């Protein structure tokens, strides 16, 4: 029986009644289920890390930190190093973040700040969300057959004219960092645009009103008020987009050239961790698989660090701009 | 004798301003799409006075106030017929940019709406917008002091404006609005979200502000109009023909409106018979 001390003292004709035992039971069942779900996520992550770690253990013992600083990947000599892949992963993702992030935020502003009619806006939004639905292998094919031929003349010209500049120091021979980063930028663009647009839409109307009420022009309203107000949401979008770029595999394996070189040139072929894993696994022997497991641990660690750092920056902007603890 | 339009609609007797007029507002009609929100309302806002707007909900007092610095331009379906003369220039003239209007005619809104930036930056926002070249910090401190919030925030100017309580936020917004010394200040129920103490402070501020500027104040609180307004306009709602159109019923010195109103509707309203 449910303990109800008020029943007797309340006026006789009240309809108030305590929750029934079944109500309480549903409550506790739902609570246990929620706890279970939350816990299983933590367990799953822990299990993945543990499994990867134990499979990679022989490689970790063999190569130690030299794995991270080494620059050759040679199965015959049992020499494994992923520095070029780490470099390629971070370089291509940062480039993609620069291009795709900038474009994504610009699109979000364009979509939400009253530049067009509501119906046109819905159409635009659908098209941008469609970008996210295109499989990455299709992006890869498009990159090979459309993008690379398209940017080759420009790349060639840049190399010929500004060859002394490190970014253009090599010619684009086919696959390379530039086409890979451009395709990555397009792939993360919908994520950044959608999340940033949500952040802009969440800004209460009264804030926009206040900005216009001060006599700000449209540009000033967007740049000085809306952008800082939406900044924590925009950052969340950028972090998610960057995370996606770090882990993107198929399109990159097709476009980046899979060459273990470290070069700042935009047109040089390179390699990324994810693309290394995808292209090496099918033919790998046992020793190499252990090394690949080690490489995937490194990728996991990079993604983790990026996410935590992103979260920290986001918390900081929230505290600074929105006064939240 | 009451005046009437050709269609027999009531028009209020014109209020004869006793001093110079800063904002001469004549609304023929205000429409939102097909909806006629306000009609035939003439309200001159006098220099160095507080002009109060009272009336029941939906009488269009906020709409008229927001027309005075073209805030309603943000609403697509808004249409204004009439003219509002600011020092002899029609602010609705095609040649006038609404942005410039809002720099001279500032506004304080019903709900506090500080920006997501530090307290200091909030107040300095308008100064920077207007390209103020003098001592920015001095002006910020001055505005905060006049808005009666300096003592609350002097040690945390770097904190976000949103970290303050509701009443403090509203005073911050007032500081933001007066930092650039706008010629006219429009206040749209600025105390409706405040507790009595904060309300008191803001009312005192309004009385002080009118030494320098002209204030137009929309309020739902008749006592507030009695306490701070020099002149009061009473707007009513016309619900005949299924519409809901606000119009000016009577405008006069505040004392006269509350003690000896000429219109029956005004009399009933100030007695609290409807709201």
Asked whether the predicted pLDDT for residue B1 surpasses 50, the reply is no
Task: Read off the DSSP letter of residue B162.
Answer: G
Q: Which CATH number fits domain A59-320: 2.40.290.10, 1.10.3720.10, 1.10.1060.10, 3.20.20.140?
A: 1.10.3720.10
Contacts of B211 (CB under 8 A, 6+ apart): B48
Asked whether the predicted pLDDT for residue B73 surpasses 60, the reply is yes
pLDDT of residue A50: 95
Subunit contact A206:B126, Cβ cutoff 8 A? no
Domain residue spans of chain A: 59-320
Chain B positions touching A217 (Cβ under 8 A) are 99
Residue B135 domain-assigned (yes or no): no
Subunit contact A206:B109, Cβ cutoff 8 A? yes
What are the CA-CA distances from residue B83 to residues B15, B44, B79, B252 (Å)? 17, 12, 12, 21
Percent of chain B with pLDDT over 90: 67
Retrieve residue A27's tokens.
């409550």
Subunit contact B116:A213, Cβ cutoff 8 A? no
Residue B100's domain comprises: 19-113+181-269
Q: Total structural domains in chain B?
A: 1
Spatial CA neighbour of A196 closest among A243, A232, A248: A232
Residue B53 domain-assigned (yes or no): yes
pLDDT band at A299 (very low <50, low <70, confident <90, very high): very high
Rounding to the nearest 10 degrees, give the CA dihedral for residues B59, B63, B64, B65: 120
Spatial CA neighbour of A271 closest among A86, A85, A136, A143: A85
H or E segment and range at residue B234: strand B231-238
pLDDT band at A324 (very low <50, low <70, confident <90, very high): low
**Residue A323 — left, alpha, or beta (φ > 0 → left; ψ -120 to 50 → alpha)?**
left
* pLDDT tens readout for residues A133-180: 999 999 999 999 999 999 999 999 999 988 888 888 888 888 999 999
* Exposure letters A201-222 (e unless 16+ CB within 10 A, then b): eebeeebbbbbbbbbbbeebbb
- Note whether B42 and B31 are within 8 A (CB): no
pLDDT of residue B259: 92
pLDDT of residue B274: 78
Task: Give the DSSP letter string of A7-39.
Answer: TTTS-TT----PPPHHHHHHHHHHHHHHHHHHH
Size of chain B, expressed as the number of residues it contains:
275
CATH number at residue B247: 3.40.50.300
Retrieve residue A239's tokens.
């972090």
Please provide the average confidence, as pLDDT, over all residues in chain A. Answer: 91
Is residue B209 within 8 angstroms of chain A, CB to CB? no
Q: What is the mean pLDDT of residues B225-234?
A: 94
Q: What is the mean pLDDT of residues A238-263?
A: 91
Compare all CA atoms of chain A with the CA of B187 and give the residue at the minimum distance. Answer: A213
- Specify which residues B25 forms β-bridges with: B43, B84
Task: Read off the DSSP letter of residue A257.
Answer: B
pLDDT of residue B2: 59
* pLDDT tens readout for residues A3-44: 888 888 888 888 888 899 999 999 999 999 999 999 999 999
Please provide the average confidence, as pLDDT, over all residues in chain B. Answer: 90
Q: What is the ipTM of this complex?
A: 0.90
pLDDT of residue B6: 67
Subunit contact A229:B116, Cβ cutoff 8 A? yes
- Greater model confidence, A2 or B89: B89
Asked whether the predicted pLDDT for residue A207 surpasses 80, the reply is yes
Subunit contact B115:A210, Cβ cutoff 8 A? yes
Q: What is the mean pLDDT of residues A52-62?
A: 91
* pLDDT tens readout for residues B102-160: 999 999 999 999 999 999 999 999 999 999 999 999 999 999 998 888 999 999 999 99
- Note whether B32 and B77 are within 8 A (CB): yes
* pLDDT tens readout for residues A112-139: 988 888 888 889 889 988 988 999 999 9
Which B residues, 51 through 110, put their C-beta within 8 Å of a C-beta on chain A? 69, 71, 74, 99-104, 106-107, 109
Residue B160 domain-assigned (yes or no): no
pTM: 0.85
Chain A positions touching B160 (Cβ under 8 A) are 319-323
C-beta pairs of B150-156 under 8 Å, 24+ apart in sequence: B153/B119, B156/B119
Is residue A117 within 8 angstroms of chain B, CB to CB? no
Taking the C-alpha atoms of residue B259 and residue B67, their distance in angstroms, rounded to an integer, is 29
Asked whether the predicted pLDDT for residue A201 surpasses 70, the reply is yes
pLDDT of residue A317: 86
């Amino acid at each position: 029986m449910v303990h109800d001390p008020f029943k007797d003292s309340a006026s006789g004709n009240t309809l108030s009644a305590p929750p029934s035992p079944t109500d309480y039971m549903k409550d506790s069942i739902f609570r246990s289920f929620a706890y279970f779900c939350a816990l299983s996520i933590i367990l799953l992550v822990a299990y993945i890390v543990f499994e990867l770690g134990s499979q990679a253990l022989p490689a970790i013992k063999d190569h130690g930190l030299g794995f991270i600083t080494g620059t050759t990947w040679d199965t015959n000599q049992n020499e494994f190093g992923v520095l070029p892949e780490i470099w390629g992963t971070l370089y291509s993702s940062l480039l993609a973040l620069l291009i795709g992030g900038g474009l994504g935020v610009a699109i979000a502003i364009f979509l939400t700040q009253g530049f067009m009619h509501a119906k046109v806006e819905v159409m635009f939004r659908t098209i941008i969300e469609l970008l996210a639905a295109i499989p990455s292998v299709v992006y890869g094919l498009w990159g090979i057959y459309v993008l690379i031929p398209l940017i080759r003349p420009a790349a060639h010209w840049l190399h010929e004219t500004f060859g002394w500049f490190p970014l253009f120091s090599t010619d684009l021979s086919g696959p390379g960092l530039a086409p890979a980063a451009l395709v990555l930028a397009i792939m993360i663009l919908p994520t950044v645009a959608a999340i940033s647009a949500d952040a802009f839409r969440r800004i209460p109307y009264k804030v926009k009103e206040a900005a216009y009420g001060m006599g700000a022009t449209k540009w000033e309203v967007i740049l000085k008020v809306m952008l800082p107000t939406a900044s924590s949401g925009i950052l969340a979008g950028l972090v998610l987009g960057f995370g996606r770029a770090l882990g993107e595999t198929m399109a990159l394996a097709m476009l980046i050239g899979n060459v273990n070189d470290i070069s700042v040139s935009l047109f040089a072929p390179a390699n990324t961790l994810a693309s290394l894993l995808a292209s090496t696994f099918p033919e790998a022997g046992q020793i190499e698989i252990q090394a690949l497991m080690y490489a995937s641990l490194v990728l996991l660690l990079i993604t983790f660090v990026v996410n935590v750092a992103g979260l920290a920056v986001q918390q900081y902007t929230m505290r600074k701009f929105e006064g939240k603890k | 004798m009451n005046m009437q339009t050709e269609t027999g609609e009531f028009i209020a007797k014109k209020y004869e301003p006793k001093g110079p007029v800063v904002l001469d507002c004549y609304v023929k009609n205000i429409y939102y799409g097909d909806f006629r929100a306000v009609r035939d309302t003439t309200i001159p806002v006098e220099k160095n006075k507080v002009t109060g707007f009272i009336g029941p909900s939906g009488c269009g007092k906020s709409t008229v106030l927001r027309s005075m610095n073209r805030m309603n331009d943000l609403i697509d379906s808004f249409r204004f017929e009439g003219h509002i003369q600011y020092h002899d220039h029609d602010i609705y003239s095609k040649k006038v940019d609404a942005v410039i209007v809002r720099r001279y005619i500032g506004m304080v809104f019903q709900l506090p709406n500080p920006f997501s930036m530090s307290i200091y930056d909030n107040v300095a926002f308008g100064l920077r917008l207007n390209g103020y070249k003098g001592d920015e910090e001095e002006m910020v401190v001055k505005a905060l002091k006049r808005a009666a919030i300096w003592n609350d925030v002097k040690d945390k100017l770097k904190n976000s404006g949103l970290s303050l309580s509701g009443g403090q936020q509203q005073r911050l917004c007032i500081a933001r609005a007066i930092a650039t010394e706008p010629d006219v200040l429009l206040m749209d129920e600025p105390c409706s979200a405040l507790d009595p103490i904060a309300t008191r402070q803001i009312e005192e501020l309004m009385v002080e502000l009118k030494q320098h500027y002209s204030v137009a104040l929309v309020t739902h609180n008749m006592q507030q109009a009695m306490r701070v307004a020099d002149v009061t306009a009473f707007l009513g709602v016309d619900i005949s023909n299924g519409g809901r159109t606000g119009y000016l019923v009577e405008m006069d010195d505040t004392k006269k409106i509350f003690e000896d109103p000429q219109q029956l509707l005004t009399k009933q309203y100030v007695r609290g018979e409807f709201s």
